[in-house]
Amino acid sequence: MTGLRRTRRYTDMDDAWKQKVRRVRSYTPGLQPVPDASLIKLNTNECPYPPSPKVAEALARFDAETLRLYPAPDADALTEALAHYHGVKKEQVFTGVGSDEVLALAFLTFFAGEGKEQRPVFFPDVTYSFYEVWAALYGIPYETKALREDFTIDPADYADAPGGVVIANPNAPTALAAPLSLIEEIVKKNPGTVVIIDEAYVDFGGETALPLLAKYDNLLVTRTFSKSRAMAGMRIGYAIGNEELIAHLKNTKFAFNSYTMSRVAIEAGCASLADEAYFRETVAKIKATRERLAKELSALGFTFPPSSANFLFVTHPRAEAKRLYEDLMKDKIYVRYFDAPRTKDYLRITVGTDKEADALLSFLRAYPALKE
C-alpha cells in the first residue's frame, strides 16, 4: 500500500455546513475594467479630475511610521473639520468608510428592529439599488414606491411610513432633484420614524436638507467624498443629524468595528475640506460639461430628465439601450445599463472631461441606429 492514499468515503454530512451559510443577494457595482489609457470610463460617476492639490500635499507629508498605530475611533480631526465646514456641532457628525458604510450602519441602527417592532421602510422603486440589498441583508421589511411616469416623487406615497424613509436627492440613476419643500413634507409627515436623505450628488445641483436639521430630530443627511471631492478611492462618507441620532449610530459602529477609517483617509479628508476654491472650481467644470453634453445629446434625439447630478439618464427612440451599451463597450466607452423593467430603455452616462464627452459624441454621431 506504500505510495497509495486511502480515499475518505463521501457522506451527506460533508454538505451539512452549506445548510448553515447565510445566502444574500449582493450589490452589483459598475464594471471596473483594468486601467487602460485608451478607455473612457463613464459608468461609475467618478470625478474626472484629481482631488485638491492639498490632498496630494497632505499625503506627501504623511508619516508612514504612524500606520503601526490605530486611527482615532471617532476620526476626530475629520469630524471636527466637517462640523466646522457645515456649521454644526461635532456631536452631530458621524464618519464612515464611504457613504455606503454610513448608510448600511444607519439601516442597521434605525430600521432593523426586532420581532414585532419591525415595520416596512419606504423608498422609491427606481433609486440606488443598494437600499434593497441592505434591507434584505438585515432582514428589514421594505416597500418600494413607484415614481411617477416622469420619475418624480409623489410625497403622498411616503406619509406615515411605518418603518422609515430613504430618499436619494438628487436621485440615482434618474439625476432628478426633489425640491426642499417636498423633502420637508416627507420628514414632517413621519415624526415617529427616521428619514434618511442620501445627498451623494447634491453638490452638482438641488437643495440640501441640512437646514431642516434645526427643525426635525428624525432627519439624517448622508454625504460622500467620492463624487464632487474626487476621492472615491479613499472611501470617506459621513452623516449629519441631531446629537441623539448620531450617538445611536456611533453605538452601532463601535459594536461592529471601532476603527473603520484609516489614518490616511482622515488626513486626506481634512485636506480636501481646506481647499474650498478647488472644490468649487471642479464642480463648476463638471456642471459646464454636463450642460454641453446634454445639449449635444438632445440634438442627436436623446431625451432625459433634467440632471442635478454628475450624470445623465438618457434614452433614444431608435437606439435599443442594451445594444448601445454593448456597442459602446466594444469601443472602450463604458456607461451604465440597468436591466430592470422601468430602466431597461435608459443608459446612465457619467459626465467626464470635455475630451471624453467629445469621444462619446463622436461615436454616437456615427452610430447607425441614430442616423436612420
At 299-332, the pLDDT tens digits run 999 999 999 999 999 999 999 999 999 999 999 9
Say what the pLDDT of residue 167 is: 98
Question: What residues have CB less than 8 Å from 346, skipping those under 6 apart?
Answer: 173, 304, 313, 314, 315, 321, 338
- Would residue 248 count as lying in a domain? yes
Say what the pLDDT of residue 136 is: 92
Are residues 287 and 221 both part of a single domain? no
Say what the pLDDT of residue 300 is: 97
Write down which residue in 246, 275, 304 finishes a domain. 275
Q: Hey, is 60 helix, strand or coil?
A: helix
Are residues 148 and 240 both part of a single domain? yes
Q: Which domain holds residue 350?
A: 40-49+277-371
Are residues 244 and 271 both part of a single domain? yes
CATH number at 290 reads: 3.90.1150.10
For 235-285, the pLDDT digits (tens) are 999 999 999 999 999 999 999 888 889 999 999 999 999 999 999 999 999
- Would residue 364 count as lying in a domain? yes
Are residues 187 and 91 both part of a single domain? yes
Say what the pLDDT of residue 3 is: 53
Write down which residue in 251, 275, 299 finishes a domain. 275
Q: What parts of the chain have a pLDDT lower than 50?
A: 1
CATH number at 120 reads: 3.40.640.10
Alpha carbon of 364 to those of 98, 148, 224, 277, 302: distances in Å?
A: 34, 29, 32, 35, 10
Question: 311 and 297 in contact (C-beta within 8 Å)?
Answer: no
Q: What is the chain's percent helix, strand, coil content, to nearest 5?
A: 40, 15, 45
C-alpha cell at position 301:
434625439
Say what the pLDDT of residue 1 is: 47
- Would residue 296 count as lying in a domain? yes
Are residues 270 and 281 both part of a single domain? no
> What is the distance, to the nearest Å, from the Cα of residue 67 to the centroid of all Cα atoms in its chain?
28
- Would residue 184 count as lying in a domain? yes
Are residues 351 and 216 both part of a single domain? no
Are residues 263 and 365 both part of a single domain? no
Which amino acid belongs to residue 5?
R
Question: 303 and 9 in contact (C-beta within 8 Å)?
Answer: no
Write down which residue in 227, 244, 275 finishes a domain. 275
- Would residue 18 count as lying in a domain? no
Which amino acid belongs to residue 209?
A
Question: 275 and 262 in contact (C-beta within 8 Å)?
Answer: no
Give me the residues paired with residue 145 across strands.
124
Go through the chain and tell me how many residues it has. 372
Are residues 44 and 58 both part of a single domain? no
Count of structural domains, the chain: 2
- Would residue 104 count as lying in a domain? yes
Q: Hey, is 282 helix, strand or coil?
A: helix
- Would residue 28 count as lying in a domain? no
What is the phi/psi pair of residue 237, to 5°? -135, 165
Are residues 179 and 234 both part of a single domain? yes
Are residues 250 and 123 both part of a single domain? yes
What does the H/E/C string look like for 20-59? HCCCCCCCCCCCCCCCCCCCEECCCCCCCCCCCHHHHHHH
Give 175-205 as a DSSP string. -----HHHHHHHHHT-TTS-EEEE-TTGGGS
